Structure 1
């Protein structure tokens, strides 16, 4: 059982990550820094998720007796990374691609404490039913998924109506694999 002995900083503005941290019973503060989320060409999606989470952690540096947690979530379809949409048309394109298909969600997580980086990722497979253009328009109009990788949130209408099943961690698809995070904290 994890017993919190150090202050925890969550370096994320994601309301979903904050909600999951609270659900874990962790006491934490939120600190944000702007980080360039570019990555080298040729990395696999899992490596991209870890690379960006480590980049975010390194922006914070390390302070003694504090744990900083960063994360990055990647949606991939046939090896193509579907990031956050640039605009409505881009969101429509992504949701059409996901319709009736299986895709992968990778979340890279990095913990930094006393200048030591501990990084890992989790993988979940998400299976979506086919959706109509009308459903895509409804979703974008009502849920405005412009801040979400792959243009959808598993915790909202898309997850309730379109996602048929998930192989792997549900919280990973939300943006923070809580099972693996809890184990990593327990092992510090």
Structure 2
């Protein structure tokens, strides 16, 4: 993490770690930590535009960090603080929670689980931007399935699959 922190600092001006408010268990707000992957973005933009695949705000190093999920490593601090788990539904920006709570009634059920660094949705391809409501609905279905069937064995399978998915994604970094 020290090497990545130094690379972020060296690659572009701004902070090393980006923080943003997210909802955790029972909608308790917390600051999520990520390595900064965009130009001079240290605090949250109140509008929180979702990053896109070819987003011009993303730095060249940030693109690599995002592709390999290394930008998520500071969330281990969130895990140690008890705000997140290794496995669970991925937490979204507060403004996105507000939107989807209005549009998808079952979305509120996500807050019955501790959010995770990885989850069932992520290993099944429902990660990244959600340009349509159908994309978020798909992610929500995986999150609800995880909440209904959570177990230590499921968490271990998700962690193992995450390693494989991230490794395969990393193999295609250009």
- Above 0.5 in TM-score? no
The TM-score normalised by the length of structure 1 is 0.27
User: Which entry has the higher C-alpha Rg, 1 or 2?
Assistant: 1
TM-score, scaled to structure 2: 0.28
Identify, as 1 or 2, the structure richer in strand: 1
Instruction: Return the structure number with greater helix share.
Output: 2
